[in-house]
């Protein structure tokens, strides 16, 4: 709702000053801006452009003062942008840069500016419900802001840090549990060859063709019953997450399709197959580059919030594109298959903590250099590309 009209620039600034005290975020920055303008108002108060700028400042502070805590939190970047814009106009009138105090010299989108507002939200009676009830369009904004706060505060455990991390996880789970919006490519897919390129008791890969796009790979999830509610929820989470991942060394997920063999995940066709096949047929190929690319893809997964694990890093899950780039595939598939078919792990490549207690891990831990030595030795002498 717009503020009622008012006359002179002096009155506009007085109104703005009163509104600032009710703002939920960037209050100090706005107060400093209003104070700066007031000191120069007598010099410029007769200029129409100055009056319009003060009206913009007054109307903006009124709008911001009417926002709830969560509204202020979600609009913090918009508010900081507007403050910066008005500040620049005011500086132009005076002909010199804004003579800011220490607070104004900080980045307007500094995470520290968000913390008081977030604390105010957490102190409310329905703090978690406030975030839980956010529409989908605002969840991504909230997660981005919360991650900004999390990266700015101390890495040491604290109730506040735990609350922020928990809220991020809550919002991400809410998003993936929402109605699935995965492209169904079934009408566009034709199976070219039903002979599997790769198969095991849980899945198989066959070649198809997508209309107007060329060859694709279909990862058929054999025997998965989509009608089972637990499996359906797992599929929702997994597919939604896959759509959000993007990295040059991750195999892209294009969507799903229904086949006579079961539900399939659709990905681009990789000309050179997997790393096993590629390095076996090309002894002079750069194996280090293949491993380095896969490691970059793995690092991307581990850097995600919350961190994602692959669970089955091995030669057949490192594919090679037409350009010779490695693409990490089947990331997290073990979780999906475990949900649908019981415990599923490729024992030789599974993380040791899956099978060992924490005490056993501590007693047998190796240095990173030793770990890499063992990995490389196994890679070269014991066919890590099965």
259: β partners? 262
Tell me the pLDDT tens digit for each residue of 198-222. Answer: 887 778 999 999 998 999 999 988 7
The predicted structure's pLDDT at residue 369: 40
Residue 96 banded pLDDT, cuts 50, 70, 90:
low
The predicted structure's pLDDT at residue 176: 46
DSSP string, 122-151: HHSTTHHHHHHT--HHHHHHHHHHHHHHHH
Give the relative orientation of helices 159-176 and 111-123 as an angle to the nearest 10 degrees: 80
The predicted structure's pLDDT at residue 358: 52
DSSP string, 140-181: HHHHHHHHHHHHHS-SS--HHHHHHHHHHHHHHHHHHTSPP-
Of 106, 102, 172, 117, which is closest to residue 149 (Cα–Cα)? Answer: 117
Mean pLDDT value of segment 117-130 = 82
Give me 38's structure tokens. Answer: 């007031």
Tell me the pLDDT tens digit for each residue of 169-194. Answer: 777 666 544 544 678 888 899 999 88
| pLDDT surpasses 70 at 50 | yes
| pLDDT surpasses 60 at 30 | yes
The predicted structure's pLDDT at residue 360: 54
| pLDDT surpasses 60 at 326 | yes
Q: What percent of the chain has pLDDT over 90?
A: 25
Mean pLDDT value of segment 353-373 = 48
Q: 263 in helix, strand or coil?
A: strand
Of 180, 186, 183, which is closest to residue 258 (Cα–Cα)? Answer: 186
More confident residue, 353 or 254: 254
Mean pLDDT of the chain: 78
Residue 248 banded pLDDT, cuts 50, 70, 90:
very high
The CA distance from 228 to 230, in Å, is 6
The CA distance from 343 to 340, in Å, is 9
Mean pLDDT value of segment 354-369 = 50
Q: What percent of the chain has pLDDT over 70?
A: 73
| pLDDT surpasses 60 at 103 | no
Highest mean pLDDT among 73-87, 138-152, 365-379: 73-87
| pLDDT surpasses 50 at 14 | yes
| pLDDT surpasses 80 at 265 | yes
E strands in 244-334: 255-259, 262-268, 318-320, 326-328
Highest mean pLDDT among 4-8, 14-18, 36-40: 14-18
Mean pLDDT value of segment 123-151 = 82
Greatest Cα pair distance in the chain = 84
C-alpha dist (Å) from residue 322 to 204, 211, 271, 308: 22, 20, 5, 27
| pLDDT surpasses 70 at 367 | no
The CA distance from 263 to 336, in Å, is 13
Task: Please state whether the peptide bond connecting residue 39 to the residue before it is cis, i.e. omega within 30 degrees of 0.
Answer: no
The predicted structure's pLDDT at residue 1: 46
| pLDDT surpasses 70 at 341 | no
More confident residue, 136 or 286: 286
The predicted structure's pLDDT at residue 343: 52
268: β partners? 216
Mean pLDDT value of segment 149-153 = 83
Q: Which superfamily is assigned to 186-381 in CATH? A: Transferase(Phosphotransferase) domain 1 (1.10.510.10)
CA dihedral defined by 259, 261, 264, 269, rounded to 10 degrees?
A: -90
The predicted structure's pLDDT at residue 362: 52
The predicted structure's pLDDT at residue 372: 35
Residue 111 banded pLDDT, cuts 50, 70, 90:
confident
Backbone angles phi, psi at 286, to 5 degrees: -85, 90
Give me 300's structure tokens. Answer: 């991307």
Q: Is 311 left (phi over 0), alpha (psi -120 to 50) or beta?
A: left
Q: 99 in helix, strand or coil?
A: coil
E strands in the chain: 189-199, 203-210, 214-221, 255-259, 262-268, 318-320, 326-328
Q: What is the DSSP letter of 346?
A: -
Where are the CATH 1.10.510.10 domain residues in the chain? 186-381
The predicted structure's pLDDT at residue 175: 57
The predicted structure's pLDDT at residue 206: 94
């Amino acid at each position: 709702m717009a503020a009622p009209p008012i006359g002179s620039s002096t009155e506009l600034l007085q109104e703005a000053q009163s509104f600032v005290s009710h703002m939920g975020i960037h209050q100090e920055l706005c107060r400093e801006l209003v104070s700066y303008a007031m000191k120069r108002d007598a010099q410029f108060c007769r200029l129409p452009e100055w009056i319009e700028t003060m009206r913009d400042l007054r109307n903006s502070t009124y709008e911001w003062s009417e926002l709830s805590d969560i509204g202020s939190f979600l609009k913090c970047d918009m508010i900081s942008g507007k403050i910066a814009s008005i500040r620049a106009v005011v500086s132009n009138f005076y002909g010199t840069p804004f003579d800011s105090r220490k607070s104004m010299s900080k980045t307007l989108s500094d995470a520290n500016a968000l913390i008081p507002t977030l604390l105010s939200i957490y102190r409310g009676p329905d703090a978690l419900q406030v975030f839980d009830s956010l529409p989908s369009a605002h969840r991504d904004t909230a997660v981005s802001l919360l991650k900004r706060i999390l990266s700015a505060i101390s890495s040491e455990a604290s109730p506040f840090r735990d609350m922020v991390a928990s809220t991020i996880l809550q919002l991400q789970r809410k998003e993936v549990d929402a109605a699935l919006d995965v492209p169904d490519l079934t009408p566009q897919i034709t199976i070219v060859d039903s002979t599997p390129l790769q198969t095991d008791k849980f899945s198989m890969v066959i070649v198809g063709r997508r209309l107007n796009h060329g060859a694709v790979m279909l990862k058929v999830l054999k025997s998965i019953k989509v009608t089972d509610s637990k499996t359906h929820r797992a599929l929702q989470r997994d597919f939604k997450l896959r759509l959000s991942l993007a990295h040059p060394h991750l195999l892209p997920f294009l969507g799903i399709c229904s086949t006579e063999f079961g539900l399939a995940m659709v990905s681009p066709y990789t000309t050179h197959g997997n790393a096993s096949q590629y390095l076996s047929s090309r002894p002079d190929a750069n194996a280090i580059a293949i491993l380095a690319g896969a490691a970059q893809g793995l690092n991307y997964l581990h850097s995600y919030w919350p961190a994602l694990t692959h669970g089955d890093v091995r030669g057949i899950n490192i594919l090679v594109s037409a350009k010779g780039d490695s693409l990490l595939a089947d990331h997290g598939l073990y979780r999906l298959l475990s949900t649908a078919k019981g415990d599923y792990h490729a024992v030789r490549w599974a993380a040791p903590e899956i099978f060992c207690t924490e005490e056993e891990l501590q007693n047998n831990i190796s240095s990173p250099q030793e770990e890499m030595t063992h990995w490389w030795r196994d890679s070269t002498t014991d066919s890590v590309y099965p």
